[in-house]
Chain A
Amino acid sequence: MSGPEEKFEQDGSSAFEHELRQAMRPVDMRAETLAKFMALAEEAERTRATKGSGPRLVKLSDGGRVIAFPRFSKTPRWLGGAIAALLVLGVTTGGVLHIQHEREAARTQQQFEAAMRVTDRAFEQAQQQLQRAGLRLGD
């Protein structure tokens, strides 16, 4: 003869438990909240990717100076190298580096675009994972 505990462990399929499972069907997040969330997520990713991304003037041992951009955490190494190579073009040694406003604007734009690519990749990856697992945002 089996007690309640044993029965519970065996099948967990009493009528009450069945009713409990029925009551616990997935509930959805409100559509407007989900839309706000997606906008928030994009903004958060953008902020994260560009956080502290202002160009820094770094002094070299030989007296030269170079503009350094922080590396994005999810940016591939080759992209960081490519940006660094571009920056080297702006290096002058033995003197103060003068930055043309146009060039600075172009670099800022380049950095922003790189950040946006990071954002897209992060989203795509996360969403693909959810999709593969049969999950979706909002439930």
Chain B
Amino acid sequence: MVFSIAMRVIGERGVAEEVAQDVFLELFRGADKLEGDDHLRFWLRKVTVHRATDALRRTAVRPDLGAEEWTEEAHSLPGDGFDASAASNLAIEARLEELLLALPETLRVPVVLRYQEDMLPDEIAALLGQPLATVKSHLQRGLQLLRRKAAVTMKEYVR
């Protein structure tokens, strides 16, 4: 969980490992303050996201395309006609990981929490300290951008 979040937010294995190490060191120092599994998970996710976004800004790992550039690529959404079964799942997954890293940080973090951690929008809002409407908006926008980009770059997989 910790390393996976860091890896998908940062996109660079070495930095993500450093972040994961920092988070676990902090856990070892403060484990006695955490009560229950839910509190532990919440704490780990929150600290990891904060550390990862800090590291992302420090290392200047930036998305290769801005949100504006994405929206200019006006393509129809693949919708539910997206047929992954006809293609190599591994190739699709690898490409989706790349596309995720091209999302702006503000959209990438909630998308990671939603689709990797399977968190609900209200849980993400609580973790990020953001209004629920903001989180929903970021999730919707992030998903739309990913789908549009996927439609362009994975034509062979999208019907």
Taking a contact as CB atoms closer than 8 A, the residue among B40, B92, B115 that contacts A17 in the complex is B115
Contacts of B31 in A (CB 8 A): 122, 125-126, 129
Contact B27 A14 (CB under 8 A): no
The secondary-structure label for the interface of chain A is: helix
Determine whether A97 belongs to the interface, using a CB cutoff of 8 Å to chain B: no
Contact A20 B146 (CB under 8 A): yes
Contact B116 A29 (CB under 8 A): no
CA distance A129 to B37 in the complex (A): 7
Contact B28 A138 (CB under 8 A): no
Contact A19 B82 (CB under 8 A): yes
Contact B93 A26 (CB under 8 A): no
Tally of A-B Cβ pairs under 8 angstroms: 122
Contacts A8-B140, A19-B93; is A135 near B28 (CB within 8 Å)?
A: no
Comparing B1-9, B54-62, B65-73, the segment that makes contact with chain A is B1-9
**Shortest Cβ distance from residue B103 to the other chain A in the assembled complex, whole angstroms:** 12
Interface size on B, residues (CB 8 A): 52
Determine whether B107 belongs to the interface, using a CB cutoff of 8 Å to chain A: no
Determine whether B32 belongs to the interface, using a CB cutoff of 8 Å to chain A: yes
Contact A14 B7 (CB under 8 A): no
Show the binding face of B for A, using Cβ within 8 Å.
1-4, 7-8, 13, 17, 20-21, 24-25, 27-29, 31-32, 34, 37, 40-41, 44, 77-84, 89, 92-94, 96-97, 100, 111-112, 114-116, 118, 121, 136, 139-140, 143-144, 146-147, 150
Show the binding face of A for B, using Cβ within 8 Å.
4-5, 8-9, 12, 14-30, 33, 37, 40-41, 44-45, 48, 74, 122-123, 125-126, 129-130, 132-135, 137-139
